[in-house]
Amino acid sequence: MRADENRVMAQRELEELSDAECFELLATGRVGRLVYQDDLGPVAVPVNYAMAGHDIVVRVEGGAKQAAMAQPMLAFEVDHVDEGQQPAWSVLVRGPGAEVDMERIPALLRETDGHFPKPWALGIHNVWLRIVPTTITGRRLGGQRRSW
């Protein structure tokens, strides 16, 4: 990044987002990061997701991500960065997760308006997980550039 670009970035204002703005931005995304603990510490993995109301739904393979749902608290992060004129934003959700029972999947598909998460990673992603937000925070780095 050039020095003049650094000055422009420094002049952008950081704005805290309301819960409503955070949920609105979450609804625009398709890929986020599921954050959980394993034996070595925190892990953040990219996953496709969909929204079911305010809940986040992901499909994963069994294994570590499925085991993560036994933890009392998970995090989920989504962001958007455009190095041009558009603002950048980040939303962080914290809350418990639970595996979705197979018989609940048809109802869940209706809740997501058919926008269920289609994993782009290879493999069999037959485990559906739901994260229920208990806290949500977000920030936006404004897109307005100020001149020196």
Residue 130 pairs in a beta bridge with 57, 98
Q: pLDDT per residue over 51-75, tens digit each?
A: 988 999 888 877 777 777 677 799 9
Class for the domain spanning 3-141: mainly beta
Instruction: Kindly report the average pLDDT of the chain as a whole number.
Output: 81
Q: Decide which of 37 and 136 is more confident.
A: 136
Q: Which tens digits make up the pLDDT trace of 83-129?
A: 776 789 999 999 999 888 777 776 666 666 666 666 767 677 778 88
User: What was the pLDDT predicted at 146?
Assistant: 40
What are the extents of the domains in the chain? Answer: 3-141
Q: How many helices (H) and strands (E) does the chain have?
A: 4, 9
pTM greater than 0.75? yes
Strands 135-141 and 127-131: unpaired
